[in-house]
Structure formats: C-alpha cells, structure tokens
Amino acid sequence: MAEENKSSLDPLAALCKRRGFIYHSSEIYGGMPGFWDYGPLGCELKQNVKQAWWQFTVRGREDVAGLDATIIMHPRIWKASGHLDTFADPMTMCKECKKLMRADQIADILAEQKKKPVPHNPEGTLSCPYCGGEMTEPKPFNLMFKTVVGPIDDPSNVAYLRPETAQAIFAQFQNVTSTSRMAVPYGIAQMGKSFRNEVTPRNYTFRSREFEQMELEFFIRPDEAVEILHGRVVTLADNPDLNGPVQDDWGWEVWHKYWVEQRKKFLNAVGLPTEHFVEYWQKPDELAHYARACVDIEYDFPFGRQELEGIAARSDFDLSQHQKWSGESQMVFDDPLKQAAKKMDENAKAAFIEKVQADWVRRGKDVEAARKFCLNLFDGKYIPHVIEPSAGVDRLMLALLCEAYEEQKLVDEKGKEDIRTVLHFSPKVAPIKVAIFPLIKKDPDQDRIAREIFTKLQKKVNVMWDVSGAIGRRYRRQDEAGTPWCITIDAQTVADGTFTVRERDSMQQKRMTYPEFLAMMYDALEF
C-alpha cells in the first residue's frame, strides 16, 4: 500500500466494494456487523488463497493428509477442548451510552481515537472511550454461537458452531491415522468456516463473526521417544538445517521453528514480503498453560500491527483431553520406538525413567505419571504432541489486499498527471490471471483468434474477455482487479500468430507466441 494510504482502509474498502471483492452481508437490509460477503473478484481471490495453502501444506508434501469435517460437532468436544469453560472475552458495558465492548480493547479504542476528535474521557481505560461514562464490571462472555439440533428446543439438544477447525482434527485423529496409513511425524490439515460471536467485530474483515480458517495439526513424537530412538534430541542450539528435508531426530522446538519458517515461505510465495511482517514470540507468561511456545506472525495493517496467524506448540494437551473425555485411547503405536526400547537393558530403562521424572517434576508434573509414560514408551506407545500452524483465510486476504493496493502517480508524454489504481497481487492469487482484448472489436479475424485463445486459456485459468473502450481504459480496469497479464490481439496476430502481452506492474509490452505465453504463465503460477 502506498505511504499516503497507509493510515486508512477507506480507499481500499471503496475499491473492494466498487470492483466486487467485498460487500457487507445482507446489505439491502442494512448489513450485519461482523459478516461479510465476497463478490465475483473476492471469491476468486479466496479460492486461490485456499488452493495455494492446500497445495503448499497438503499436496506438495508427503507427510500431511486432509480432512473436511462438519461445522456442528458433538458438544462434548468443546467441553474437552476447554472452549465451553474458557473461550470467553471480558465484556463490559457503558452505564451511560450502553455501548458494549471488550474490556481488553478499550486501550486500543483510545489509541485509535487519538487520531480523531476525542470525546470526554478522563479515566483512560476505566471509563467509556466514547462518552466517558462509567463501565460495568467486565464479565466473561463465551464466544461460541449456540444452536439447537433437531426439532425440540431443549438444553439437552444444544450444540455449537465450531469456533475453530482444529478440534475436528483431534476428534478424527485415530480415523485419519488408520485410513491414511501415515505414521508420526505427520499432519492433518483442514480448511473451513469458523464462527465466533465477537463482542466488537472491527477493522473491516479483520475480526469477523463468521470466517474461514486454514489449520494444520502436525503430530510429532514426544522428545522422550526421539531420545530412545536416536539417543539424542536435536534442538535449536544444534543449528539444524530448516530448509532441507525434515529429520527424524528433531525435538519439538525444532519442529516448531521449522513450521514458523514454512509459514513465512508460504506468505512470501503468495505475495507478502518478509520485511512486511514480524515474528512475535509469546513470552512465558502470555502462553496458554499447555503451550510450550507460540509465535504470532504479525502484519502491519493500516490500522496497526496485528496478528495474521499463529504457530503454537501445544504439547499433547488436545489429544489427552479427548482421550479423557471420550474414553477412547488417542495413543499411537510406534514400532521403530518399540524396537529401539527393546535394545535398552533394565539399568538403562531405570536411568531413563529417573531422568524423565526429574524433568517432569521441574515442569510441575506428576512423578507417577512420568513413570507410566515411560513404560508406555518402552511398549512403543504415546499420545503424540502437536505443532499447530493456524491461519485465517479472510485475514490473509485482507493483508494481501492491503499489500497489493497502490495509487500510482503517472505522468504521460505530454506531462499530464494521472492516478493509476493497481492491485499488485502475486499471479498465484490474482483473481483474474489473463484478460483478452481484440484490438478492433469489429474485425472478424481478430475476434475469432481472440475467442480461440480465450477459450483455450479458460480451460486452464480464470480469464476475462473485454472488448469495450480504448485499450488504455481496458488496461486500467484490469489493473484495479490485479490482473497480471493482458493479451491484445491485433492485425499482426492475424498475420503471424504473435500477440502483445502487457505486464501489470511494469506496464511493459512484449510480443509472444501462445506457447511462450503459456510457459511464462505456468512458471509464475507454480509453487
């Protein structure tokens, strides 16, 4: 986004509405806060973002399988995961103006207001940032949307719209493991809708009530199992090569950092340069009690630096919880581990148990549980630990739109100034890949050849046909849509088959044959 547009989303939001990227949901009835619809260009961008993630995370790897689970699941899943009891924001209401807000966001609202005329607000975070009125005591407000399954509206039929896609992966872990025939370390990926009844949805699509997530649960051996197998556990202090193939002797810390690097590579590939986001490593007191580490990838949105996605090392918390609440074992059997343990004599096993117990006690865990855990390991059994890269589709789309948006000042040969609004999308996510223009609409040969090329390309990528207006105006329309290439069919095409390809960012034009264009396009689209 150009410097002068950085402080506001307004020009981008206007373009998104005008060109059919994003609309208010139910707009003709006044809209619904926190709900957004994607128009013709927006839904293409969304498809491309999701496809890119799936290609990078699932199809492009040997160690990840996919899942597509239901949005409404057994309510006990949310008891086991902790969402029923703790997935809440502190809600407070102004006693004067009755506005509801999250107590932890009052400071942000005040910070935003510094840019605008500030209403009377003497007490900072303790009073209403809008009218200065007294606030009620903050109360936890559970963010899950409730619904009723079946025709009888009874508390026993209450279910919830999932607030994250992740839990379905844990709930189906045993099924996927046995049917995919994959062994730990391996991952299960899922994309799909999630719902959170956010107290204050804000910043355009950034915090919505209905949104999509792309989540990977990558299951790894506990470090203790790695130690039995390899006699050591590789940590970050060993400076492992995170760009090469994954290694069997990596500990959780290395796997976690590996996935942070993978996510950064993905973000680069879809058009976010590394220098525009930061890795925020949560401090020990910020971590959830079960998490060993969590990194937020934060992006500089026009409304401030905010979380784009997160990569958490969640230990064996989730599967252990589901084992406890469902009564179904969530252990895996790891034959190489059992074979390695067989080679340990009784003394080595006793020393191993002692070491694990000392480590667990240091981490505030139970000595007897440590012993049982070791005995299971010697049998080749454990509950896998998990690394969770969790991204939001809508939030990534917003970042890509912010990153791509530019109002360029151009000066023509006669010195006349003009503004070109352009979306510099990576071709990999651009909603339209190619626009085809017959130079002279009424020329039957140009029209025929243009149609042939259009039809051929339509079978491969999303193509746009445009015959109306001067070529310059057609280019500008495509610049606003973020189309990387425009092909113009002219008299020379009729004579020798070559056509003009105009590249969006450089505005350079080049004559190419169809095979040359295809090779160039595929090269740019490949992951």
* Minimum distance from residue 209 beta carbon to ligand GAP (Å): 7
- Pick 257 or 314: Cβ nearer ligand GAP: 314
Planar angle of CA 154, 35, 127, nearest 5 degrees? 90
CA 216 to chain centre: 10
Among 307, 443, 445, 447, the residue binding ligand GAP under the rule CB under 6 A is 307
**Which residue, 265 or 448, is less far from ligand GAP as judged by CB?**
265
Name the minimum Å distance from CB 392 to ligand GAP.
2
Residue 453 host element (H or E): helix 444-458
The bridge status of strand 332-333 relative to strand 405-411 is unpaired
Minimal distance in Å, beta carbon 207 to ligand GAP?
4
Q: Which is nearer to ligand GAP, 388 or 490 (CB)?
A: 388
Please, which residue, 130 or 145, has the CB nearer to ligand GAP?
145
The residue from 44, 223, 253, 309 that contacts ligand GAP (CB under 6 A) is 309
Q: How far is the CB of 486 from ligand GAP (least distance, A)?
A: 33
Least separation in angstroms between CB 138 and ligand GAP: 19
190 touches ligand GAP by CB under 6 A:
no
Task: Tell me the C-alpha distance between 100 and 94, whole Å.
Answer: 7
Q: Which listed residue (164, 223, 224, 300) binds ligand GAP by CB under 6 A? A: 164
83 binds ligand GAP (CB under 6 A): no
Cβ proximity to ligand GAP, 198 vs 403, nearer residue: 198
Is 390 a residue that touches ligand GAP (CB under 6 A)? yes
If the CB atoms of residues 108 and 334 are measured against ligand GAP, the closer one turns out to be: 108
Q: Is the CB of 87 or the CB of 250 nearer to ligand GAP? A: 87
DSSP 280-298: EE--GGGS-TT-SEEEEEE
On whether the CB atoms of residues 462 and 468 are closer than 8 A, the answer is: no
Beta bridge partners of 501: 487, 510
Which amino acid appears at position 208 of this protein?
Answer: S
E strand or H helix at 304: strand 304-313
How far is 246 from 186, CA to CA, in rounded Å?
11
Q: Smaller CB distance to ligand GAP: residue 215 or 490?
A: 215
395 contributes a contact to ligand GAP by CB under 6 A: yes
Closest CA to 177 of 295, 303, 94, 65: 65
Task: Indicate whether 487 belongs to the interface with ligand GAP (CB under 6 A).
Answer: no
| Number of Cα atoms under 13 Å in the Cβ half of residue 41 | 24
88-93: strand order across its sheet: 100-102, 88-93, 139-142
**Among residues 392, 431, 438, 482, the one that binds ligand GAP under rule CB under 6 A:** 392
Q: How many residues bind ligand GAP (CB under 6 A)?
A: 18
Minimum Å gap between C-beta 292 and ligand GAP is: 15
Contact between 311 and ligand GAP per CB under 6 A? no
Return the residue nearest ligand GAP (CB atom): 392
Helix (H), strand (E), coil (C) string for 199-248: CCCCCCCCCCCEEEEEEEEEEECCHHHHHHHHCCCECHHHCCCCCCCCCC
The verdict on 394 binding ligand GAP (CB under 6 A) reads yes
Residue 318 binds ligand GAP, judged by CB under 6 A: no
What is the footprint of ligand GAP within residues 208-247 (CB under 6 A)? 208, 211, 213, 215
Candidate residues 128, 168, 391, 463; the one interacting with ligand GAP per rule CB under 6 A: 391
Query: Pairing between strand 277-281 and 293-301?
Result: antiparallel
Structure-token pair, residue 483: 């189309």
Q: Are 125 and 110 in contact (CB under 8 A)?
A: yes
Please, are residues 493 and 463 in contact by the beta-carbon 8 Å criterion? Answer: no
- Please give the structure tokens belonging to residue 58: 């699932």
Q: Note the residue count of the chain.
A: 527
Both tokens of residue 37?
A: 């619809």
Nearer to ligand GAP, 198 or 227 (CB): 198
Residue 196 interacting with ligand GAP (CB under 6 A): yes
Q: Which amino acid is at 126?
A: L
Task: Using CB under 6 A, list all residues that contact ligand GAP.
Answer: 164, 166, 196, 198, 207-208, 211, 213, 215, 307, 309-310, 388, 390-392, 394-395
